[in-house]
Amino acid sequence: MRKMNQTACFLMFLWVFLNPSAIAADWRIITEESTIEFSGTQTGVPFSGKFARFGADISFDPADPASAYVKAEIDLASATTGDTQRDTALPQEDWFFVSTFPKATFEATGFQPLEDNRYSTMGALTLKGITKIVPLSFTLTFDGERALMQSSLALNRADFGVGAGPWAEGKWVGLNVDVSLNIVAEQKEP
């Protein structure tokens, strides 16, 4: 078993760490142990939900986080909040429009080590056909050949056209959405 040090990196939302050097390791997300959750407000009342289907391939060199590359995909049709009316609306054109835009993606190159197992990166988040560069800070901890990435991300849904028509101004459903990531990954066999 290869012991990994604490100067390694991440995700994502969910990710493919790609390093051209020969010492890079490939990783896979353990989806049954990972979560991507979101929260917001509707008529001033908080609600939360999660995505059931997501994934990424990961290639990452813990000694060279600046060369990391990540790409993650989330199946937007897998979003649930526990409210039938809301869950029926989410795949529709005003919200995620999954018939045209079935997936959200996050792609980033290079991670900046901070302190206390923390890292940061700037990545391209694409949702409903709109791409924005967003900052992502996260923690990354290792246990043998497994890694845990944790992060939270604040988004304005209007930046991505999510909640169109009567929902666009945030009067009924708040514009701010918080996304929470708890991603468990393990090294793939060489």
Instruction: Residue 43: give its domain's CATH number.
Output: 2.40.128.110
Are 12 and 70 contacting, i.e. CB atoms less than 8 angstroms apart? yes
Q: Which two tokens stand for residue 127?
A: 């949702």
Task: Judge whether 10 lies within some domain.
Answer: no
| pLDDT tops 60 at residue 134 | yes
Range of weakest confidence among 2-11, 50-59, 121-130: 2-11
Q: Which two tokens stand for residue 29?
A: 């997300």
Task: Judge whether 98 lies within some domain.
Answer: yes
Integer Cα distance of 101 and 32 in angstroms: 24
pTM: 0.84
66 pLDDT tier (thresholds 50, 70, 90) = confident
In which element (H, E) is residue 150 found?
strand 146-156
Task: Judge whether 4 lies within some domain.
Answer: no
Query: Any idea which residue has 């708890």 for tokens?
Result: 182
Task: Judge whether 14 lies within some domain.
Answer: no
Task: Judge whether 2 lies within some domain.
Answer: no
Return the pLDDT at 2. 39
CA distances, 135 to each of 6, 7, 139 (Å): 21, 19, 14
Mean pLDDT, residues 10-38 taken together: 63
The boundaries of the domain holding residue 81 are 25-187
Supply the DSSP symbol for 84: H
Count of structural domains, the chain: 1
Return the pLDDT at 23. 45
Task: Judge whether 16 lies within some domain.
Answer: no
Mean pLDDT, residues 45-69 taken together: 87
Task: Judge whether 129 lies within some domain.
Answer: yes
Task: Judge whether 15 lies within some domain.
Answer: no
